[in-house]
Structure 1
């Protein structure tokens, strides 16, 4: 007989299977080849951080909130993703498409689980897919400024926001978080993902990442998307999670959106509430099967050597978005 939390976990996993795993995890291999450590392998900080699926998902939301302070990345998302309704892409006030937003999140979750726990071939395939999509993202903002997703400056900003979002969410909401030099291990390992996507001159520690993010301040602005995300008064638990996303931002970024922290007692209480929500969901759902499959894959040791990123900027073949969607469907 199922206990209440087991029933909740079963429902959560069924929903995740239906909405995310079946749609976005196609073609990924986690159970084989036996002995293949993938990009990171057992004992890595990445395996530990990404093993908490729901803290990871929350961290990706934190990263998305921070990264759209760059007007160029905001308009890249508007013009080239399913994030907004098609009929509002050229509108100065585009409207979010809820289904499209979930699709974007599904692809992101699949990428960061697949590159963490998938076979080496799976990780390389995912990196090629994302990199190739980036090659097609070029255009003009409504103010006339050009954007290009292959711009090294944009790649560095995008990378820094992602690693900061995931690592900070981990530090705050993982039940056994890495601290100090241990979290720097994560930053140092995760840079492999950034290099595989074409990034250069990337930060490799928490301090370097903070410095990198702050260096972009003269280029940043409160975009329409950011303004809309900070304004609504949402019911619980959405309001708590919305506050928690802003709570993960560096202090100067909080200043941009006029986010002020409450006193230490209230802040601690709010974080405790969010910790309970994230970890309650994670406890009910249990460990991700991809993580369990990866552990079984290397249970007898690793027999395949770790590899380093082989991609060199400018060496990918040029393909249209339609060709890419067919190839990686």
Structure 2
């Protein structure tokens, strides 16, 4: 084995351990090699998006955007323990995405049942006095559209093979299958519908102390080792560069159009390409 290949494998193992946890290799084998029918094939748009390194950028953007709904943020703030166990939350989320995208239908449906059971227990009252429930179809739809909008925009800019117009619609329709199983309703199935739904949520979104604290935690004080702080900051900058201007004001994020169009975009291309190289199958 060459020195370069050894470095690549080591980098890939470190990244995979962060996003998948100690049981990652076992779960990966089960997800990708278990015998059984799959809901999606590797030719489908959802597999292209969810299997690309641009998901690292899209995931950060999704967390920032989702935090702007005060009821969704209250549920996360009061129940998820994201500050105490951020890597555990990331690993659970990444495993769910992998199971529902690449796993057998049986495993994917079981993953959905587990998440729905968790959602039924997540209820409470937001700081503004309004009750919330994680199983609320309206909140589930917000979490879903903020997520797929982020994944798709990150893939458009940093994906290895950006989708054409028909494939982008296909991705949105395919991702709606899982969200519908989770309990979300009135889901978009095309880019035009996604844009309309995102706009419809604007009046409900606002800057809250919990949202701003989450943004600081994600961007300023991330729980990452010093050795990977620079790569993480490159991913974070790329994610901020994809945020709408109105959302940046709410989260007190900078808007530097010239820098974002040049240095930030270039560093985003470099870091996603490096992750893609490190994590390609041996």
TM-score normalised by structure 2 residue count: 0.85
The match for 1:271 is 265
In the aligned structure 2, how far is the partner of 1:239 from the partner of 1:22?
Answer: 24
Query: How far apart are 1:28 and its partner, in Å?
Result: 4.1
Query: How far apart are 1:59 and its partner, in Å?
Result: 1.5
C-alpha root-mean-square deviation of aligned residues, in Å? 2.5
The match for 2:41 is 41
Q: Is the 8 A contact 2:234 2:271 kept in 1?
A: no
TM-score normalised by structure 1 residue count: 0.74
Q: Is the 8 A contact 2:12 2:278 kept in 1?
A: no
Query: How far apart are 1:236 and its partner, in Å?
Result: 3.9
Among 116, 128, 136, the alignment partner of 2:101 is 116
Structure 1 residue runs without a partner (length 5+): 84-95, 290-329
Q: Is the 8 A contact 2:57 2:238 kept in 1?
A: no
Work out the number of aligned pairs and report it: 270
Query: How far apart are 1:266 and its partner, in Å?
Result: 4.8
In the aligned structure 2, how far is the partner of 1:127 from the partner of 1:64?
Answer: 20
Q: Is the 8 A contact 1:141 1:147 kept in 2?
A: yes
Query: How far apart are 1:276 and its partner, in Å?
Result: 0.4
The match for 1:31 is 33
**Structure 1 consecutive aligned stretches of length 4 or more whose deviation exceeds 6 Å:** none
Q: Is the 8 A contact 1:233 1:239 kept in 2?
A: no
Query: How far apart are 1:66 and its partner, in Å?
Result: 0.5
The match for 1:133 is 118
- Seen in structure 2, the aligned counterparts of structure 1 residues 255 and 209 have a Cα distance that, compared at 3 Å, is farther
Query: How far apart are 1:162 and its partner, in Å?
Result: 1.1
The match for 1:244 is 238
Which digits, 9 at most, give the CA deviation of each residue in 1:90-117, with x for residues without a partner? xxxxxx22xx111111111111111111
| Matching of residues 188-199 of structure 1 within 5 Å | 188-199=173-184
- Seen in structure 2, the aligned counterparts of structure 1 residues 123 and 275 have a Cα distance that, compared at 3 Å, is same
In the aligned structure 2, how far is the partner of 1:243 from the partner of 1:16?
Answer: 19
In the aligned structure 2, how far is the partner of 1:209 from the partner of 1:77?
Answer: 23
In the aligned structure 2, how far is the partner of 1:77 from the partner of 1:233?
Answer: 18
Which digits, 9 at most, give the CA deviation of each residue in 1:210-256, with x for residues without a partner? 22122122221112243242584997444433222222223432343
Query: How far apart are 1:173 and its partner, in Å?
Result: 0.8
The match for 1:219 is 204
User: Structure 1 or 2: larger helix share?
Assistant: 2
Question: Does 1:15 find its partner at 2:14?
Answer: yes
> Highest Rg: 1 or 2?
1
Structure 2 residue runs without a partner (length 5+): 223-228
| Matching of residues 1-329 of structure 1 within 5 Å | 1-4=1-4, 6-16=5-15, 18-19=17-18, 20-23=20-23, 26=27, 28-33=30-35, 36=37, 38-52=38-52, 54-83=53-82, 96-97=83-84, 100-228=85-213, 229=215, 232=220, 236-259=230-253, 261-264=255-258, 266-287=260-281
Q: Is the 8 A contact 2:172 2:191 kept in 1?
A: yes
Q: Is the 8 A contact 1:55 1:174 kept in 2?
A: yes
In the aligned structure 2, how far is the partner of 1:151 from the partner of 1:123?
Answer: 21
- Seen in structure 2, the aligned counterparts of structure 1 residues 17 and 263 have a Cα distance that, compared at 3 Å, is closer
Which digits, 9 at most, give the CA deviation of each residue in 1:45-88, with x for residues without a partner? 11211221x322332221111001011111111211121xxxxx
Query: How far apart are 1:12 and its partner, in Å?
Result: 2.9
- Seen in structure 2, the aligned counterparts of structure 1 residues 252 and 208 have a Cα distance that, compared at 3 Å, is farther
In the aligned structure 1, how far is the partner of 2:104 from the partner of 2:260?
Answer: 44
